[in-house]
Amino acid sequence: MCGIIGYVGEKEAVPILIKGLETLEYRGYDSAGVCVSVSEELNVIKKKGKIAELKQLPELSQINGNVGIAHTRWATHGEPNEINAHPHTDSKKEIAIVHNGIIENYYTLKKLLEDEGYNIVSETDSEIIAHLISKFYSGNLEEATMKALHFVEGAFGLVIMHSRERKIVAARKGSPLVIGIGNGEMFVASDITALMEHTKRVIYLNDDEIATLTPNNYSIKTLDGKEIDKNIDEIKWTVDQMEKGGFKHFMLKEIFEQPESIRNILRGRVKDNSVNLTLDFDFKEIEKIVLVACGTSWHSALIGKHFIEKLVRIPVEVDYASEFRYRDPLLDEKSLVVAISQSGETADTLAAIKEAKKKKAKTIGIVNVVGSSITREVSSGIYLHAGPEIGVASTKAFTSQVVALLLLSLYLRKEKNLSIDKEILDGLESLPEMIEKVLDSSEEIKKIAEKLKDKKNFLYLGRGLNFPTALEGALKLKEISYIHAEGYPAAEMKHGPIALIDDDMPVVFVCPKDDTYKKIMSNMEEVKARKGNIVAVINEKDDKISELAEHVIEVPKTSELLSPIVNSIPLQLFAYYIADFKGCDIDKPRNLAKSVTVE
């Protein structure tokens, strides 16, 4: 949510900053801006809209300087326009800041600064930080920032520069920042993707830390001024993983990467009819498990509840991370709280884990991004190893999360000295192949998408393990095509949503050949009787299905527990093709951002 990059070195800053912003654009794209210091003067250039629009400004090529900061915005305070775009400066135009997060005591600070004569020009909460630092500035940017932040409540990932200091200062509380260490140059960014082209050596800032970067040096302190020695981590992702690789969109590439991402999560973890994970808690002490997540990750948690309760017979609660903290959850040292997050930076999920720790619960993370904030908060976890997910709509991370939850359940079963069903392990091993078969039918799915692309509403129905699949299918469609779609448990339809069904309402049924099959067929009959337009995701065609459904998508039959994974793939493709036919900006859907780092 909002992308930040800063540079200090010997090279021209503008091209580095713009390239960095392009990499970070998936974090927000309402407006963008850069600030570069030239001959002790700050040059700020901002533009409403995407980075491509900023890039076209001729004045951009006229600023030469080798210290700079830049930002791509996802609006929280104030509409997306040029004045509200970052960087923001103080009134003397000596200090410029870019900010990710929310300043909670913004009104109080604004009033205080205005009473002292400061002229605040934008509607953002961020601008006040520039004025506050200016108020405390007396020749040392780092010191002034520490003093100013003492008065700030809320979340920030903040990068600051001063026209007369050849350095960048970065401070973090709640919103991620990572330092990139180069040769004779230093970088700071809101995530590693912007740094990968320049360096693999990074330092993750923790909350309440401040870094000061000069071309050849860095120092990291706590916000109250104590020096800290931090580890340098190595980025494992490669630059070509960040390219579209011939696909029209990152989302499509990531859908097609799923056989590989599933192989990656299984590698080394399923061996000799057993499951090996390195988790740092004594399972025998655990009496209840709580899965916390947001959005698509929350859908994987719903599937995980089925897995754990069926295989391990421990009660599992699934919570929206954003709700969890505020209901004073019943937790103690016998509870295990599992945070599920692709980015590892979702503010609500991070806050949920902190709450769990406060209540002495054990914590683990199921996370894709190595070194992200959640991974540093939990005591151990399962990395997805899915590679970078750039498309805003999550696809490969979702299927890997479901596999991770199944691995966790099997591991807990092993800890309970229960046997692990060979059919599940074989199923896991053949999963990449199954997914490849579904991907082979992408052209047929595309044809169905073309026929239905102009519909205004969709209903997605599934039962049991595939109710979350229906929720996820509906979410994919609405977020990238802007078509209204709802997921429901199939049998619940007759308690209300059935009123919506007419001959203009496509209903997507997830209908695997399992214990729920017959019941779902009855639900299909109910839809058909009301002239609904049925799309059925099935395992094998039979006469009954052919009679009821206008469109049929066949997927291979797997072991029951794996069916949500296989069934999700056609729904991802279906949503993708509809959005593509409609000409939507698939990788950057309106109003969305890849990682939501504000609560």
The site for ligand F6R (CB under 6 A) is made up of 294-297, 341-343, 346, 349, 393-394, 475, 479, 595-596
Count of H helices and E strands in the chain?
18, 26
Residue type, 225: G
Q: Which residues pair with 462 in a beta bridge?
A: 489
Q: Residue-wise over 391-410: b if at least 16 C-beta within 10 A, else e?
A: bbbbbbbbbbbbbbbbbbbb
How far apart, in whole angstroms, are the C-alpha atoms of residue 393 and residue 379? Answer: 28
The nearer residue to ligand F6R, 136 or 237, going by C-beta atoms, is 237
Which of 432, 422, 492 is CA-nearest to residue 461? 492
C-alpha to C-alpha distances, 132 to 44, 109, 137, 598, nearest whole angstrom: 19, 8, 9, 22
Under 8 Å between Cβ of 54 and 65: no
Q: Where does 25-126 have alpha helices with state H?
A: 51-55, 106-115
Are the C-beta atoms of 87 and 98 separated by less than 8 Å? Answer: yes
- Identify whether 19 is a catalytic site residue: no
CB 237 within 8 A of CB 561: no
Phi-psi region of 251 (alpha: psi -120 to 50; beta: other; left: phi over 0): alpha
User: Which of 279, 282, 291, 341 lies closest to 316, judged by CA?
Assistant: 291
The count of residues in the chain is: 599
Residue 98 DSSP symbol: E
Query: Are the C-beta atoms of 344 and 365 separated by less than 8 Å?
Result: yes
Nearer to ligand F6R, 293 or 311 (CB): 293
**Residue 111 DSSP class:** H
* Backbone Cα Rg of the chain: 25
Is 2 marked active-site?
yes
C-alpha torsion angle, residues 459, 461, 465, 468 (rounded to 10): 10
* Contact between residue 131 and residue 105 where contact means Cβ atoms under 8 Å apart: no
- CA-to-CA distance for 235 and 192, rounded, in angstroms? 8
The catalytic position among 2, 294, 511, 584 is 2
Cβ 394 to ligand F6R shortest distance, Å? 3
CB of 226 to ligand F6R, least distance (A): 31
Contact (Cβ atoms closer than 8 angstroms) between residue 368 and residue 389: yes
Residue pointed to by tokens 């596999």: 403
Cβ(261)–Cβ(399) below 8 Å: yes
- 451 φ/ψ angles, rounded to the nearest 5 degrees: -65, -30
Sheet holding 165-173, edge to edge: 88-89, 95-100, 156-162, 165-173, 209-214, 217-222
Helix spans in 174-318 (H): 250-256, 258-266, 295-312
CB 335 within 8 A of CB 362: yes
Q: At what angle do helices 396-415 and 422-440 cross, to 10 degrees?
A: 170
Q: Phi/psi of residue 37, each to 5°?
A: -95, 125
Distance (Å, rounded) from C-alpha 416 to C-alpha 124?
53
Give the residue numbers annotated as catalytic, written as ranges.
2, 594
